[in-house]
């Protein structure tokens, strides 16, 4: 049995060890410890993914469907210069992406790459929308096929669908210098909207896209009606049967 003196020495030694741990361990803990956060690269604190979901503002890409590219197409503006458009759908009604990288590629009849163009698109919440690139140089080669794909992972944020701005009437005049006048209206009694790209897409009798164009709505007030004008440099190659107008708000709308 240990004597009282031995037990006292053990007690002193234990107190010394505890003090040493407190003197070294606690400062080290506060120096090296990092509280869980939404930017630590670790799935913790109830997050649904790494630094997303749960308490984090950032939404998890895996919780939402990717934007669907329905078709892509290019049209000649003048010899050697083409415009390209991708028709895309965001199936998620309450989220948007402010900036998503993409790439257009134009190919000739031999399947060889003629030209490509990269950019960054805004993906509006819950709607079909267009991505446009103008003035793509092709030289003496003629593109016959156009592809489009997103090259990044969507960084989803909460967003609302643009439902108050609509096309009331489309008046298309064909001929050597085609022209379309589109009457649009803001149905909101209180909200103004600004910086909206307005695309028009024209289709033939088999519902194939023939051509397209875009303009900018700088601002439209509550209940306001405006007329948008689109023109083309030459006659269409076929009769136009159907017209479609898409409204794509710029980021932060």
Sign of CA dihedral 61, 63, 67, 68: positive
- Tell me phi and psi for residue 140, to 5 degrees: -90, 0
220: confidence class by pLDDT, cuts 50, 70, 90: very high
Specify the higher pLDDT residue, 46 or 5: 46
Long-range contacts of 50-57 (CB under 8 A, 24+ apart): none
User: Mean pLDDT over residues 209-223, rounded?
Assistant: 97
Whether 245 and 200 have beta carbons less than 8 Å apart is answered as yes
* Residue found by looking up tokens 């989803």 in the block: 156
Maximum CA extent, the chain: 114
Q: Helices (DSSP H) in the chain: which residue ranges? A: 4-32
CATH (residue range 162-253) = 2.60.40.3230
Specify the higher pLDDT residue, 252 or 85: 85
CATH class of domain segment(s) 64-156: mainly beta
For CATH 2.60.40.3230, list the domain ranges present in the chain. Answer: 64-156, 162-253
16: confidence class by pLDDT, cuts 50, 70, 90: low
Q: What is the pLDDT of residue 178?
A: 96
Q: 20-64: per-residue pLDDT in tens? A: 565 665 565 556 656 778 877 888 877 778 878 788 878 888 889
Q: 64-111: per-residue pLDDT in tens? A: 999 999 999 999 999 999 999 999 999 999 999 999 999 999 999 999
Question: Does the pLDDT of residue 1 top 60, yes or no?
Answer: no
Q: What is the pLDDT of residue 253?
A: 55
């Amino acid at each position: 049995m240990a004597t009282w003196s031995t037990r006292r020495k053990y007690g002193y030694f234990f107190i010394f060890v505890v003090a040493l741990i407190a003197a070294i361990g606690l400062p080290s803990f506060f120096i090296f410890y990092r509280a869980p956060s939404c930017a630590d690269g670790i799935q913790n604190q109830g997050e649904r993914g790494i630094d997303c979901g749960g308490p984090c503002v950032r939404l998890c890409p895996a919780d939402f469907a990717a934007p669907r590219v329905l078709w892509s197409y290019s049209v000649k503006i003048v010899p050697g210069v083409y415009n390209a458009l991708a028709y895309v759908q965001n199936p998620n009604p309450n989220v948007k992406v402010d900036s998503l990288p993409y790439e257009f590629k134009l190919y000739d009849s031999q399947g060889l790459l003629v030209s490509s163009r990269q950019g960054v698109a805004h993906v509006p919440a819950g709607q079909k929308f267009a991505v446009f690139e103008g003035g793509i140089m092709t030289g003496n080669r003629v593109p016959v096929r156009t592809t489009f794909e997103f090259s990044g992972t969507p960084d989803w944020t909460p967003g609302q669908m643009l439902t108050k701005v609509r096309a009331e009437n489309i008046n298309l005049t064909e001929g050597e210098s085609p022209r379309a006048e589109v009457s649009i209206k803001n149905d909101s009694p209180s909200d103004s909207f600004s910086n909206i790209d307005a695309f028009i897409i024209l289709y033939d009798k088999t519902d194939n896209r023939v051509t397209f164009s875009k303009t900018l709505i700088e601002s439209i007030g509550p209940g306001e009606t405006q007329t948008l004008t689109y023109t083309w440099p030459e006659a269409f190659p076929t009769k136009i049967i159907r017209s479609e107008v898409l409204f794509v708000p710029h980021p932060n709308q």
